[in-house]
Amino acid sequence: MTLLVVSNRLPFTVSSRDNKLVFHASPGGLVSGLTAYLEWARQDPSRTDYLWIGWPGIEVEEGSRELLRTKAAKQKACPVFLDADTMKKFYQGFCNSTIWPLFHYFPTYAKFREEDWTQYVKVNEAFRDSILKVYQPNDTVWVHDYHLMLLPKLLREKLPDIPIGFFLHTPFPSYDVFRTLPTTWRREILEGILGADLIGFHTIDYTQHFLRCILRILGYEHSFGQVLIDGERTIKIDTFPMGVDYHEIRDLAKSDDIQEEGRGLRERLGNRKIILSQDRLDYTKGIKHRLEAYAIFLDRHPQWQRKVVLVLSVVPSRLGAEQYEQMKEEIDKLVGSINGKFGTIDWTPIVYRYRFLPYNQLLSLFAISDVALVTPLRDGMNLVAKEYVASKIDQRGVLILSEMTGASRELGEALIINPNDTSEIVDAIKTALEMPEAEQIRRNQAMQTRLERYDVIKWGQDFAGKLHSIKQQQKKFSAKLLDAATREKMISDYDTSQKRILFLDYDGTLSPFKARPETAVPEKTLLAVLNALSEDPRNNLVIISGRNRILLQDWFGSLNLGIVAEHGAWIRQKGKDWVPTIKVESNWKEKVRPTLRGYEDRLPGSLLEEKEFSLVWHFRAADPELAYVRSKELADELSYFTENTELQVLQGSKSIEVRNVGINKGMAAKLLLSETNFDFVLAMGDDWADEDLFEAIPDQAYSIKVGLAKSYAKFNLRNHREVIQLLTDLYKTGKS
C-alpha cells in the first residue's frame, strides 16, 4: 500500500539554472511536519510507503518532464505539470483572492470572479488526472488544504471505493461567512470535500462550522460527526490538532551549531530582553497591530526603553499583490517611525529583517528570545508557537499567543490575548518581560509535556487510524450490499416461482424524496415497470406506503396491483375496494392536532398532513438547522403526551407521525401473506417504518433496505435507481 499525499506544492521547489533542474527544500511547518510523519510510517512495522503529488513550482517543458519525473521519484515525489500562467491564475486567483480572505474572516478582501472559479476547477481536475496515472489498487489518498477542495469528489467519481482523507490547514469559517460564496460554488466546495471518507480540522470550532454548513446548505445531519451521504456512504468529520516534530526540534535546538549561532546573535543584540516576531507577510498575521502595541508599550513604560529589542522577522510572500505591497509599505513606515521616535545612538528598538529565514537561524532566534509575540488576527493552527515552546530546552521564555489561533486551544499556559485589543497586548508584553523564571518554567513544562505527547507523528497516526476505521465501517455496510451472486439467485428464484408477492415502499424506495410530499409524483419509467410486473399473473405486486389512500389511489389505482396506505391502516387488494385493517378511534386527533399546528407555525416551511388514522408533521422543506431543533422538541413533547395511551410516535425521514398502536406495515404484510402460500417473497423499503415489514416476512424471503443504514433487512441497495434496475431485471426475466 502507498499513501498518496496530495498538496498544492511538492515538499521541494524546482528551478532552472544553466538549463539544469535544481531542487530546493520548501519551507514551512506543514512540509517538515508531514515529512516527519511519512518517514516514521516507512520505518513502522506496517511499512507504509508514500508518494507526494504536487506542482513543482515551475513550468516544465515537455522535453524535460521525464527527467524531472525520474529525479522526483528518487525523493518519493510525483510532479503535476501545469503551465505557470494557469498556476498563477489558480493560486493568486481563487485560492488567495477568494478562499484565503474568506476563510480568515476578511470577506471585504474577497473577490468573486467567474474566471477564477473556472481555473480552480481546471487545476483540481488536473490533479485528479495526475493521481489516476499513478494510483494502484489498495493505495490511500490524503488531500491537503484549501487549494484542492474539489479533488476528493472528483477522485470518488472515478474510483468509488478508494480511501480518501482530506485535511484543512486553514480555519473553516462560520456559516454566515461561508455562505457569501456564490450558491453554486459553495455547494460544489462542500460536495467536493464530502467526497473524502475522513475530513479533518485543527479545532473543534472549525469542525462545527463545517458540520453546520453541510446541514444548512446541503441538508446533511450528523451523529457525533458521522454523516450518511445520500444514504450510500458513511463518512466522518473530526478534529485533529496538528503537532510538531517535538524530539527533532529539541535535538536541533541542543546542537552546537544552533547554540553557537544563538550566542553570536545575543552578543550583537546586547544585554537586553529580546522579543521575537516571526511571520510571513500576510494581512492575517496582525503584524501592524503588534508593532503599534510595541510602540505604546515603550511610551507607556519608559523604564523598559533601552532594555528591550523587538526582532521583527518578516518572510516575503505573494509579492505583486496590491494588498501585500501596501502592507509592506505600512510595516516599513511603522518600523521607521518607532525607531526614529524611541531609538538612540546605542539602541535600536526594532531590528527588522525582510527575507526568508533558514530554519537553523529561526531556531537560534527561538533560543535567545525571552518573549515570542505570536498574535495573528486569524490562523488555522500556527506551528511557530508550538515550535517556539518545543525549542526551549531550558524552559525559559514566554509565549504571547493570539486567541484566534488554533494553537491557543492547546497552549493555554501561554499569555492568551485578543490581537485586536492593543492594551491587552501591551499588558501581556509587560507581564512576559517581568515574569519570574519559576513561573516561566512551570508554564513551559506543561506545554512541552502536551506537545511531546501529541506530536506530529501521533497526529498522523490518529488521522490514518480513523481513516482505516471508517473504511472498515463502510465495508461492514457494503458486505450487505446485494452482490452479483445473490442477485442472480434472486432472479433465478423469481423466474422459477409460481406465486410471488412483492412489497414495495414508495418514498425513498421507488422515488427520491421531494421537498413537499405532494410533488413526488411517480415517473413514467417507474409506472411502466410496475405495470409490466403487475400484468404477470404470477405476481401480486403491493405498494406499501405511509401515504394517504386517496393520493395512492390517484397515482396507482389504474394498475393491476395491491395498495397498502397509511403504514397498514388501509388495504386495497387487486380488484377489490379499500378496507381498514383494524377498527380504531381517531378522536384523539382533536387533542394532538393543536400541538402539531403550533410546531407548523414555529417552523416556516413545515406542514401538517392529516390522514384518516394518523397525523404527520413534515419538515423537509424547512430550514434544516431549526428543523433539527424543533423536531427533537416535538418528538419529546409527543412522547410525553402519548405515554399510557393507544398512540405511538414514529420518526420517519424528515417527518414525525402520530398514529394508533397496532397499525404498521408488518401487520398488513402478515394479513396478505396469510391468504396464499407464496413461493417468492420480496420486500423493499428505506426507513424505520419498513423495519416492521422486514420482521414480518418469512425467513426465506428476500428483504432489501434502500440506503446503507442498520436494518433487519438481509441486503442493501444504495438508492432508488438501483431498485428500479432490479425490478426491471425481474420483469425482463419473467418475460423471457
Domain ranges of the chain: 2-239, 250-453, 484-582+662-735, 589-660
CATH superfamily of 2-239: Glycogen Phosphorylase B; (3.40.50.2000)
Do the bridges between strand 680-685 and strand 702-706 make them parallel or antiparallel, or are there none, so unpaired?
parallel
Cell numbers for 632: 427533537
Cross-strand bridge partners of residue 237: 199
CATH class, range 250-453: alpha beta
CA distance 93 to 115: 9
Name every residue whose Cβ is closer than 8 Å to that of residue 570 and which is 6 or more positions away in sequence: 549, 564, 578, 579, 580, 581, 612, 613
Burial of 537 (0-12, 13-18, 19+ CB in 10 A): exposed
The alpha carbon of residue 646 and the mean position of all alpha carbons in its chain are separated, in whole angstroms, by: 43
CB 392 within 8 A of CB 244: no
pLDDT of res. 557: 92
CB 687 within 8 A of CB 547: no
pLDDT of res. 320: 53
Burial of 343 (0-12, 13-18, 19+ CB in 10 A): middle
Cell numbers for 166: 482530506
Cell numbers for 275: 522579543
Query: Residue written as cell 492547546?
Result: 410
The DSSP output letter for 507 is B
The secondary structure of 385-427 as a DSSP string is HHHHHHH-TT---EEEEETTBGGGGT-TTSEEE-TT-HHHHHH
Cell numbers for 122: 481546471
CB 447 within 8 A of CB 414: yes
589-660 matches 484-582+662-735 in CATH topology: no
Convert the pLDDT of each residue in 207-258 to its tens digit.
999 999 999 999 888 888 999 887 778 999 999 999 999 999 999 999 999 9
Cell numbers for 400: 504571547
Name every residue whose Cβ is closer than 8 Å to that of residue 306 and which is 6 or more positions away in sequence: 272, 344, 346, 347
pLDDT of res. 474: 87
Name every residue whose Cβ is closer than 8 Å to that of residue 526 and which is 6 or more positions away in sequence: 510, 511, 724
The SS3 call for residue 344 is: strand
Helices (H), 255-392: 256-269, 287-300, 322-342, 359-368, 383-391
Cell numbers for 513: 424524496
Give the end-to-end CA distance of the chain in Å, rounded to a whole number: 46
CA distance 384 to 380: 12
* DSSP run (H or E) holding 683: strand 680-685
Count Cα neighbours of 535 within 13 Å in the Cβ-side half-sphere.
11
CA distance 225 to 239: 10
CA distance 610 to 14: 69
Average pLDDT, the chain: 91
The DSSP output letter for 689 is G
pLDDT of res. 144: 97
Q: In this structure, which long-range contacts are made by residues 180-185, counting pairs with CB atoms below 8 Å and at least 24 apart in sequence?
A: 180/102, 180/107, 180/110, 181/98, 181/102, 181/112, 182/112, 182/117, 185/117
Mean pLDDT, 10 residues at a time, over the chain (736 residues)?
93 78 74 88 83 89 85 91 89 94 95 96 97 95 97 96 96 97 97 98 96 92 87 90 94 93 90 94 94 97 96 80 83 97 95 90 94 96 95 96 96 97 97 98 97 95 95 83 91 94 94 77 92 94 92 93 91 90 81 91 91 87 86 88 82 86 88 92 91 93 89 90 94 75
Helices 484-496 and 720-735: crossing angle, nearest 10°? Answer: 40
What is the phi/psi pair of residue 699, to 5°?
-60, -35
CB 401 within 8 A of CB 408: yes
CA distance 562 to 631: 33
Cross-strand bridge partners of residue 314: 279, 354
Catalytic-labelled residue, pool 116, 282, 505, 687: 505
CA distance 273 to 48: 46
Cell numbers for 140: 490511500
Name every residue whose Cβ is closer than 8 Å to that of residue 384 and which is 6 or more positions away in sequence: 29, 278, 279, 372, 374
* DSSP run (H or E) holding 433: helix 422-434
Convert the pLDDT of each residue in 104-159 to its tens digit.
999 999 999 999 999 999 999 999 999 999 999 999 999 999 999 999 999 999 99
What residue type is assigned to position 533 of the chain?
A: L
Query: Residue written as cell 485533529?
Result: 240
The DSSP output letter for 95 is I
Prediction pTM value: 0.84
CA distance 1 to 714: 32
Rounded (10°) CA dihedral 690, 693, 697, 702: -20
Cell numbers for 226: 458521522
User: Which residue, among 202, 196, 204, 203, has the nearest Cα to 236 in the 3D structure?
Assistant: 196
User: Which residue, among 723, 724, 682, 685, has the nearest Cα to 525 in the 3D structure?
Assistant: 724
Burial of 541 (0-12, 13-18, 19+ CB in 10 A): buried
What residue type is assigned to position 66 of the chain?
A: E
Does the annotation count 505 as an active-site position? yes
Query: Residue written as cell 490511500?
Result: 140
Query: Residue written as cell 454566515?
Result: 176
Largest CA distance in the chain: 107
* Alpha-carbon separation of residue 304 from 266, 307, 342, 436 (angstroms): 18, 5, 11, 16
Query: Residue written as cell 518572510?
Result: 315
CB 534 within 8 A of CB 542: no
Rounded (10°) CA dihedral 442, 446, 447, 448: 100
Rounded (10°) CA dihedral 474, 477, 479, 485: -120
Burial of 133 (0-12, 13-18, 19+ CB in 10 A): exposed
Do the bridges between strand 77-79 and strand 702-706 make them parallel or antiparallel, or are there none, so unpaired?
unpaired
CA distance 624 to 628: 6
What residue type is assigned to position 87 of the chain?
A: M
Name every residue whose Cβ is closer than 8 Å to that of residue 599 and which is 6 or more positions away in sequence: 606, 617, 630, 633, 634
CATH superfamily of 484-582+662-735: HAD superfamily/HAD-like (3.40.50.1000)
* The CATH number of the domain covering residues in 589-660: 3.30.70.1020
